[in-house]
Amino acid sequence: MADKPISDNLERLSLNSNGDSVVKSPFVLCFGELLIDFVPTINGVSLAEAPAFKKAPGGAPANVAVCVARLGGSSAFIGKVGEDEFGHMLADVLKENKVDISGMRFDSSARTALAFVTLRADGEREFMFFRNPSADMLLRESELDIDLIKKAAIFHYGSISLIEEPCKSSHLAAMAIAKKSGSLLSYDPNLRLALWPSANAAREGIMSIWDQADIIKISEDEITFLTGGDDPYNDDVVLNKLFHPNLQLLLVSEGSQGCRYYTKQFKGRVPGLKVKPVDTTGAGDAFVGGLLSRLASDLNLYQDENRLREALYFANACGALTVTKNGAIPALPTIDEVERLVSEVAA
């Protein structure tokens, strides 16, 4: 069956007669990849040196969905896995974490994506991906759950789903539906150069949807990459090259140091929380999940600097707790753990 074009999908949106958006539920809908991360059983070695690996569910958009749910929020996931043992395991993990998987699809012709991830002794992460093609790359526009997209308060996505067709067209269609129905668009590029044909293709692909997002989270390394080598700590670089007219909130994650924020009205920095790091995998996704869980129930939060700073401190705490355990989804914190850490630091 041929995929329906984006225009057909948009026509199916039932907008109110006064032109306002459809009624939104306070949930975060995450779109993109869901995969198995294989992490070494010991830290500080290269992939070649690792004696054994432990499987852990991962994939940035799925991590965010689980994080939101663990924090007491409401979330859903749209993506595709293989009709295989790993695919069903991942679906079960999302269900166990109270993520709505009604928009998830299974492909009998492709395997679930795999990634081997390690933190080397020099602190750099090393990735090796198995997706030639994997099921997540094969999500078709005709498989999108349009009603689910229309209801979301926030539609969150990355850039990996832009690399290959048909997933790229499905991603663009889902974004268009979410935008038309009044969802806030949240973008974390989550640069993985090894997956793109070239550095230029990665830069062009990531920037091709840049000006549509309401909220963007990037790392210091991604600023340097996207600007062609500019200083990631320079506010003028961020504001002149990356802040676009439609953007409501631009966030720069700084790892253990916390984060910076930029809006049309103000900018600033929120410090991180000190913890003993074990594995940084998933920390950025936990930060995003922490913020979006707050934003979904208070969509104008970014307009009030005090409320925004409180939400970002909470998000920093989510990221900090995640680095104290191995893996991505297994390490994501609960609301009780975050509140305990925040109160301990304040004491």
Active site residues: 285
Nearest to 38 by CA among 130, 122, 157: 130
The answer to whether 329 touches 66, Cβ cutoff 8 Å, is: yes
The answer to whether 280 touches 237, Cβ cutoff 8 Å, is: no
In the DSSP assignment, the letter for residue 345 is H
Cα distance between residue 20 and residue 181, in whole Å: 8
The residue written with tokens 């997933």 in the block is 167
First to last CA, the chain: 61
In the DSSP assignment, the letter for residue 27 is E
Cα distance between residue 107 and residue 100, in whole Å: 19
Cα distance between residue 221 and residue 262, in whole Å: 17
To 10 degrees, the CA torsion angle through 325, 328, 329, 333?
A: 50
